[in-house]
Structure 1
Amino acid sequence: MYTEIAPGLVVRIAMPPMKLSDFKVIAFDMDSTLINIECIDEIAAAVGKKAEVAAITEAAMRGEIPDFKESLRRRLSLLAGTPASALDEVYRERLRLNPGAEALVAAAREAGLKTLLVSGGFTHFADRVCERLGMDRAKSNVLEIVDGKLTGRVVGEIVDGEEKRRQLLTMCADVGCSPQQAIAVGDGANDLPMMGEAGLSVAYHAKPKVREQAMVAIDEGGLDRLLEVLQR
């Protein structure tokens, strides 16, 4: 059961008062959470395949395709042969930080939290966003590029929901805190495993399945609205 504490900001009634400084780690999804786009959809747009790829992305984020790895493989296969230069174009021309991202990450850092970006997206974007926001760690997928073109595959294991969960737990272990002292912020079904481990789960403009399971749902406004729930 939820209560709307302010327009577009919903909190579980049973949630006790919390301060940002009560936590030690904050983990963020990237696509449609820290940033305004789904990067794979925008790469597809550069080669005229956005509708087909975006449909799979949407189904995966709603939880209609349970196997994230399979959904990613299907989408990437459609991008085989795409010039790697399309990645720079997407970063330069289409990627923007979501409202409140800088303010929330800065507040978390000031409160002493370690910051983690963990994404089923790609290092080409995640590493840059991590650096731009001054975050501590990023984990995402490495696109395979041969002769200047995407092969339609990733290098190594795919970062899925289970890997997001592991990355959150690893960061907590490295910091020396319980997962109950972590915050996890996401919008799609593959964020649920890490959100389920965290002491505070936050849905940002999320799919219904994610919103229903989160302790806090930000439905309007920016990421920094979380600071309306957490005292400094």
Structure 2
Amino acid sequence: MSQVKGLCVMDVDGTLILEEVIDLLGREAGCEEVISQITSRAMRGKLDFESSLRKRVSLLEGLPVSVFDKVFDSIHPSPNTQKFISILQKNGILVGLVSGGFTPIVERLAKSFGIVYFSANQLEVKDGLLTGKLVGQIISPEVKKETLEQWREKLKLPKERTIAIGDGANDLLMLKSAGLGIAFCAKEVLKKEIQHHVDKRDLLEVLPLIDCLE
């Protein structure tokens, strides 16, 4: 890729992909309904993200790490994801993923789309089983924002050359911190605060909003 002219940071669950991975893991743990209800409320801004994440992760205790293979095979990228990312990369816009989801899935997604920059939550594993705990830094709404800013500084880009795309309440700070924040098929809490919306689930619909492709 030629010189980096811009940075586009994307949320993963509900944005890059159709599904919420935590809900799929919940299905494997036999508690999908409980987890999906908590996820839905958290994404609408009705619950504190970090405490709700810890609660959902605690319900995954005992799942084998092999569950990530099964879950990865059952997720679907949003329409035209690969084409969208390729167009950005060809135009010198580096794409990064910041997710409140989990590294075993996000890392694979990043590799499949030729993305180098990514950040996600790490689940604790002992003897090949999930312990129901998280390790390391939690990718909270504040950390999503800070990650975008750290990558921007590393790339020596001005704020106006940054784009952030997300769908949930936990993306709000990141979208506000970018030069261009785009609410993609987003919850009402996000659409109320963010000027630019794309309500059709097709990432190519985002392109007309991005003026740094010239």
Question: Same fold by TM (over 0.5)?
Answer: yes
- Residue in structure 2 matching 1:80, options 57, 61, 67: 61
The residue identity in structure 1 corresponding to 2:93 is L
- Residue in structure 1 matching 2:21, options 22, 39, 42: 39
Tell me if the contact between 1:180 and 1:197 (Cα under 8 Å) persists in the aligned partners.
no
Tell me if the contact between 2:79 and 2:202 (Cα under 8 Å) persists in the aligned partners.
yes
Give the Cα–Cα distance (whole angstroms) in 2 for the partners of residues 50 and 227 of structure 1: 35
Structure 1 residue 28: deviation in Å? 0.2
In the alignment, which residue of structure 2 is the partner of 1:204? 184
| Structure 2 residues not aligned, in runs of 5+ | none
- Residue in structure 2 matching 1:57, options 28, 34, 39: 39
- Residue in structure 1 matching 2:138, options 158, 163, 169: 158
In the alignment, which residue of structure 2 is the partner of 1:4? none
Q: Tell me, what secondary structure is at the counterpart of 2:192?
A: helix
The residue identity in structure 2 corresponding to 1:193 is L
Give the Cα–Cα distance (whole angstroms) in 2 for the partners of residues 219 and 36 of structure 1: 14
The residue identity in structure 2 corresponding to 1:112 is G
Give the Cα–Cα distance (whole angstroms) in 2 for the partners of residues 87 and 150 of structure 1: 11
Structure 1 residue 180: deviation in Å? 2.3
Task: Report % sequence identity.
Answer: 35
Give the Cα–Cα distance (whole angstroms) in 2 for the partners of residues 172 and 64 of structure 1: 30
| Structure 1 residues not aligned, in runs of 5+ | 1-22
Give the Cα–Cα distance (whole angstroms) in 1 for the partners of residues 91 and 195 of structure 2: 21
**Structure 1, 83-92 or 191-200: larger mean CA deviation:** 83-92
Structure 1 residue 43: deviation in Å? 0.5
TM-score (norm 1): 0.86
In the alignment, which residue of structure 1 is the partner of 2:153? 173
Q: After TM superposition, what 4+ stretches of structure 1 lie above 6 angstroms from structure 2?
A: none
In the alignment, which residue of structure 2 is the partner of 1:127? 107
- Residue in structure 2 matching 1:147, options 110, 113, 127: 127
Give the Cα–Cα distance (whole angstroms) in 1 for the partners of residues 37 and 86 of structure 2: 34
The residue identity in structure 1 corresponding to 2:13 is D
CA RMSD of aligned residues (A): 1.4
Q: Tell me, what secondary structure is at the counterpart of 1:224?
A: helix
Structure 1 residue 229: deviation in Å? 3.1
Q: Tell me, what secondary structure is at the counterpart of 2:14?
A: coil
Tell me if the contact between 2:162 and 2:179 (Cα under 8 Å) persists in the aligned partners.
yes
Q: Tell me, what secondary structure is at the counterpart of 1:36?
A: coil
Tell me if the contact between 1:200 and 1:215 (Cα under 8 Å) persists in the aligned partners.
no
In the alignment, which residue of structure 1 is the partner of 2:94? 114
Pair 1:104 & 2:69 matched: no
In the alignment, which residue of structure 1 is the partner of 2:49? 68
In the alignment, which residue of structure 1 is the partner of 2:174? 194
Alpha-carbon spacing, 1:131–1:203, altered in 2? closer, same or farther (3 Å): same
Give the Cα–Cα distance (whole angstroms) in 2 for the partners of residues 137 and 167 of structure 1: 10
Tell me if the contact between 1:161 and 1:194 (Cα under 8 Å) persists in the aligned partners.
yes
Give the Cα–Cα distance (whole angstroms) in 2 for the partners of residues 56 and 48 of structure 1: 15
Q: How many residues align?
A: 209
